[in-house]
Structure 1
Amino acid sequence: MDTRNFDTTEKEREETCQMIQETVRDFTDLHIKPYIRTWDEQQHFPKELFKSLGELGLMGMLVPEEYGGSGLGYQEYVTAIIALSKVDPSVGLSMAAHNSLCTNHILMFGNAAQKSTYLPKLATGELVGAWGLTEPNTGSDAGNMRTTAVRKGDGWVLNGSKNFITNGKTGNVAVVITRTGEPGDKHGATAFIVEQGTKGFSAGRKEDKLGMRASETVELIFEDCYIPASQRLGEIGDGFVQSLKVLDGGRISIAALSVGTALGAYEAALAYSKERRQFGKAICDFQAIAFKLADMHTDIQASTLLTFHAGALKDAGKKVTLESSVAKYHASETAVRVANEAVQIFGGYGFVKDYPVEKFYRDSKLCTIGEGTSEIQKMVISKEILKE
């Protein structure tokens, strides 16, 4: 896939986004659609697929060309996630976690050596990345994490665990945030890059999930895991502050994931409503169904605009804490509402696995939980607007 630096004219950017949509559509037709149900039923994480996505330039969309990436911006990135997620949200989720969390954390806060070591391989899909912040007892309360990093000689020893980690078992490298100071101290956490195979670092059980089943979610375990000082990301004590900045971009990713999920459910319901006939006419001709479709379309349009607005501000180098939370909150709740209505439009057929909306319904709920629940988003939004 041909790529351009994202600092281009609006027309060039539109052309690039259109090209990305077409590329992803052709790719999903061949490499994803035939396997969606099998991957979902078997909870199969298709790691080989992500190497192919890397060949298309989708695994390093935000990575500069000097590090082997596509050198694109958030608007192109959002376009790709939406296009993938409207086919299979599980793939969109894993691609988003790789790009906006693990890879972007190294891009934003890594030193020259770390960037040169990891970014080229992450950008091509040779390496799949994971990101560890959440813990079993400190989900939204990340400031009180229990995973610790203690100095030992020229390095650090990590002990503890992280859970609900996307790409955690199959991923080759993880960025992990640990406590190096007092609990609750905003400057008491430090981030490290940990490679698969490091002694004392292992993946625990794979979660048996309601939805997003082809996206791998596991526990990460650290047992006297020694990490050289060269693997520390940024300054000691900056890990939590770094995480908040990474999550600003990550929430744009989840907003895009939500838009794609909603679009997939909506388009399936729209097509079905035109084909399904009752009482001598297509069900879309009944006002009850037509009004559902109107609400679904309107909510998706609003979520799409909010998401691209946040992406444009991010590309402009502006603070997006408020805008990314607004987009993530609205889009994720929209995904759940739209998927619910899609099942309703399908009726009994929406409740069986032979039709796609059943999976969109299950997948959509994660969007309101991952990278900050809807309740957390409202906390962030209210805090930001009350500053004004």
Structure 2
Amino acid sequence: MSAPAMTAAPVRPERIGAADLAALTERVAKVTAEHVEHTDREAAFPVAALAELRATGLLGLLVPVEYGGLGGTVADLVEASIALGRVDMSVAMVFAMHGQQVAALVRHGGERLRAEVLPEVAAGRVYLASVTTEAGKGGHLLSAEAALAAADGELLVDRFAPIVTGGEHADAFLVTMLSPHATNPGQVSLVYARRDQLEIERSGDWQPLGMRASHSVALRLRGRVPEHQVVGAHGDFRSVVTGVFGPLAHLGWSACWLGTAAGALSRVLRLLRSPEGRKQSNLESELLLTRLSRARQRLDTVYALLVQTERTVAEAADLTPPRIQLRLNALKITAAEECYAVVDELVDAVGMRHGYLKGSPTRLEQALRDLRSAVLNYSNDRLHLADGRLALLDPEVRFG
């Protein structure tokens, strides 16, 4: 297949403002809401929401204005992910993970690769999927088993991944593999590959408990890409992880989870305040009021940690100190646990009909299923082990 024509998007005069971002995100949220029941029921990828992400230019949120993008910040990505998570966690995660991939290209892509790809992302023509999982190592980012081969200025890709979120609908991929001359499993390279540069074979089906619309099927990718499509230095994916992949994963995921839990609480509160809710519920019940209080407390706690962590990432010249890594991991662990706990307690608060059964306007049962994946998405157990080691490296227990 020949490469698609690279037509630059019009250069925007300045980065997007908060009001415009909110308006564009609301457009995507509206389309998402129209299809959320179908995509969850059928485990179908949210193609309509992706089309609106393309049309609004939000796929190019983190693309600099000189490449035609919206020039947004990580804080903008966080706010948009929260807003989309209120409607559908799968759509929010698809968006946030795409943003992570774009940020890696912006920060670590070579000049030629950025010039080829970023205008296409800005124009809505490139949705990026991440290929980092591998059979036997799960989602561990800093090692790889499948190796790149180099020949005649090209890199040969042959990679199986058990989970590729949105992979069947992606226009391109960022793929982790062993560097061509690696001497140990930690010398990992990140490679950009367009769909038309690959043969793609799907394996198995996607029928999970939650996150059904993420359509994270297993894929085998085979093909050849030019040498300049390496992102960062060969074998130095660790730098990409430390500076981009890790921080944006934890910030983006946590924003999606927070949005999902906040959306669930909002729908419960609207139900309780409705005429039907006032008839069926005792709004003076101390147990109900206490549960609502705890739910809001948990959400405010996660939001405060999310905002503080985003500021830390934005302001720090170096993200490797233990205190910063501990904060990033604490955000992911806390958001995963607390957002799930919010919805779990809301199920108790409103009971069987509106908490446990499908068909309720609260959609608590979907939110609960979706958020159950949060502690598993790069396991909290694995992060606690890492944090124990990091804590030993910071005996002063510094925060600032």
**TM-score category of the 2 structures, normalised to the smaller one:** 0.7 to 0.9
Deviation at 1:183, TM superposition (A): 7.5
State the match for 1:361 in structure 2. 368
1:261 equivalent to 2:268? Answer no
State the match for 1:86 in structure 2. 86
State the match for 1:377 in structure 2. 383
Separation in 2 of the partners of 1:323 and 1:85? 22
RMSD: 2.5
Separation in 2 of the partners of 1:99 and 1:295? 32
In the superposition, relative to structure 1, how do residues 305 and 194 fare at CA in structure 2: closer, same or farther (>3 Å)? Answer: same
Deviation at 1:280, TM superposition (A): 7.2
Separation in 2 of the partners of 1:82 and 1:3? 27
The 3-state SS of whatever aligns with 1:87 is coil
Deviation at 1:295, TM superposition (A): 0.8
Separation in 1 of the partners of 2:341 and 2:185? 38
Deviation at 1:342, TM superposition (A): 1.9
After superposition, the C-alpha distances for 1:185-240 in whole angstroms (9 at most, x for unaligned) are 43x111111111324443433421211211221222134x3332122222211124
Deviation at 1:362, TM superposition (A): 0.8
1:339 equivalent to 2:343? Answer yes
Deviation at 1:322, TM superposition (A): 3.1
Separation in 2 of the partners of 1:281 and 1:158? 60
After superposition, the C-alpha distances for 1:130-170 in whole angstroms (9 at most, x for unaligned) are 01111121114444422211222322222331121112111
Deviation at 1:20, TM superposition (A): 3.2
After superposition, the C-alpha distances for 1:314-348 in whole angstroms (9 at most, x for unaligned) are 22244253332222211111121111112222211
The 3-state SS of whatever aligns with 2:217 is strand
Deviation at 1:303, TM superposition (A): 0.5
Contact 1:168 1:203 in 2 (8 A): no
Choose the corresponding residue for 2:236, options 235, 238, 242. Answer: 238
Separation in 2 of the partners of 1:280 and 1:85? 30
The 3-state SS of whatever aligns with 1:369 is coil
In the superposition, relative to structure 1, how do residues 220 and 43 fare at CA in structure 2: closer, same or farther (>3 Å)? Answer: same
Matches within 5 A, 1:181-192: 185-186=185-186, 188-192=187-191
Separation in 1 of the partners of 2:256 and 2:193? 27
In the superposition, relative to structure 1, how do residues 57 and 279 fare at CA in structure 2: closer, same or farther (>3 Å)? Answer: closer
Separation in 1 of the partners of 2:79 and 2:165? 21
After superposition, the C-alpha distances for 1:82-102 in whole angstroms (9 at most, x for unaligned) are 0110111111010011111x2
Separation in 2 of the partners of 1:321 and 1:158? 32
* Structure 1: tracts of 5 or more residues without a match: 7-15
Separation in 2 of the partners of 1:242 and 1:293? 41
Contact 1:255 1:327 in 2 (8 A): yes
Contact 2:148 2:156 in 1 (8 A): yes
In the superposition, relative to structure 1, how do residues 191 and 5 fare at CA in structure 2: closer, same or farther (>3 Å)? Answer: same
Residue type at the aligned position of 1:348: M
State the match for 2:398 in structure 1. none
Between 1:58-67 and 1:232-241, the stretch displaced more is: 232-241
The 3-state SS of whatever aligns with 1:169 is helix
Between 1:304-313 and 1:272-281, the stretch displaced more is: 272-281
In the superposition, relative to structure 1, how do residues 144 and 65 fare at CA in structure 2: closer, same or farther (>3 Å)? Answer: closer
Separation in 2 of the partners of 1:184 and 1:143? 11
Q: How many residues align?
A: 373
Separation in 2 of the partners of 1:285 and 1:261? 26
State the match for 1:352 in structure 2. 357
Matches within 5 A, 1:30-179: 31-100=31-100, 102-179=101-178
Separation in 2 of the partners of 1:84 and 1:182? 40
Residue type at the aligned position of 2:326: L
Separation in 2 of the partners of 1:279 and 1:353? 21
In the superposition, relative to structure 1, how do residues 327 and 204 fare at CA in structure 2: closer, same or farther (>3 Å)? Answer: same
After superposition, the C-alpha distances for 1:10-29 in whole angstroms (9 at most, x for unaligned) are xxxxxx43553354335423
The 3-state SS of whatever aligns with 1:191 is strand
Between 1:241-250 and 1:71-80, the stretch displaced more is: 241-250
Choose the corresponding residue for 2:226, options 225, 228, 232. Answer: 228
State the match for 1:13 in structure 2. none
* Structure 2: tracts of 5 or more residues without a match: 1-11, 395-400
Choose the corresponding residue for 1:386, options 368, 372, 392. Answer: 392
State the match for 1:307 in structure 2. 306
Separation in 1 of the partners of 2:111 and 2:278? 68
The 3-state SS of whatever aligns with 1:134 is coil
In the superposition, relative to structure 1, how do residues 329 and 17 fare at CA in structure 2: closer, same or farther (>3 Å)? Answer: farther
Separation in 1 of the partners of 2:263 and 2:334? 17
Separation in 1 of the partners of 2:278 and 2:206? 45
* TM-score, length-scaled by structure 1: 0.88
Residue type at the aligned position of 2:294: D
Separation in 2 of the partners of 1:203 and 1:105? 26
Contact 1:109 1:234 in 2 (8 A): yes
Contact 2:132 2:139 in 1 (8 A): no
User: % of aligned pairs identical?
Assistant: 20
In the superposition, relative to structure 1, how do residues 299 and 230 fare at CA in structure 2: closer, same or farther (>3 Å)? Answer: same
The 3-state SS of whatever aligns with 1:221 is strand
Separation in 1 of the partners of 2:41 and 2:77? 28
Separation in 2 of the partners of 1:61 and 1:131? 17
Contact 1:147 1:162 in 2 (8 A): no
State the match for 2:213 in structure 1. 214
